[in-house]
Amino acid sequence: MRAEPPRLGALIQALCCMPGIGQKSAQRISYHLLQRDRNGAKSLAAALADAMDNIGSCERCRNFSETPVCELCLSEKRDGSLLCIVESPADVFAMEEAGYNGKYFVLMGHLSPLDGIGPQELGLDKLAAYLAGSPGDEAGAGVKEVILATNSTMEGEATAHFISNIVQKHDMRVTRIAHGVPLGGELEYIDSNTLSHALAGRRDITG
């Protein structure tokens, strides 16, 4: 016999839409919320609905934003001559943690023709227009260097390569973030591809 009320079953199913949450975790979470934190759950419901209704995309950088153009794009304190291209909003977060202080362009994915994700889906036409200094929005005209910070995966590399071709049409520097041994990494445990990258990308020590 089904021992749970229908609304509880519905809640458990709905919780499964979150990545990393399966049937068992969803059950545990729903029991916990019902038994111990109903107020927290109500706040969560409100925050979810509020976020989904009010968070859109920035017209300029495509990152999540509550306003047509995001705070970060509008900020005068940031270096407008640097444009960093990343795959996702989480990467923006990571770059901020690393101390980057320029502007961003967020692809919201990577090229993946089999999944129907092409240049159009990544907003590359918007990027090209921005770099050309589109009329009415001159911000892009100040960009001097485009930093490609897509992931170091097959798709990320292909996307970086594709974008570098677009950028090279403009008179700008295009760079790719360095790949190599992570700080604290021990050679013994690093995979051979990373190590061969690190070797090929070796630099002179200037004393």
Q: Which residues bind a second copy (CB under 8 A)?
A: 1, 3-8, 10-11, 13-15, 17-21, 25, 27-35, 37-38, 40-52, 54-55, 63-66, 70-72, 75, 77-78, 88-90, 92-93, 96, 101, 108
Q: What whole-number distance in Å separates Cα of residue 113 and Cα of residue 8?
A: 40
**65 exposed, middle or buried (CB, 10 Å; 0-12, 13-18, 19+)?**
buried
The nearest distance, CB 62 to a second copy, in angstroms, is: 11
Nearer to a second copy, 36 or 161 (CB): 36
The nearest distance, CB 38 to a second copy, in angstroms, is: 5
Nearer to a second copy, 5 or 116 (CB): 5
The nearest distance, CB 193 to a second copy, in angstroms, is: 26
**107 exposed, middle or buried (CB, 10 Å; 0-12, 13-18, 19+)?**
buried
Structure tokens at 179: 């790949």
Nearer to a second copy, 19 or 184 (CB): 19
Question: How many Cβ atoms from other residues are within 10 Å of residue 59's Cβ?
Answer: 14
Nearer to a second copy, 25 or 175 (CB): 25
Residue holding tokens 């209704």? 53
Q: Which residues, 6 or more positions from 65, have their beta carbon under 8 angstroms from its beta carbon? A: 55, 56, 57, 58, 71
The nearest distance, CB 181 to a second copy, in angstroms, is: 24
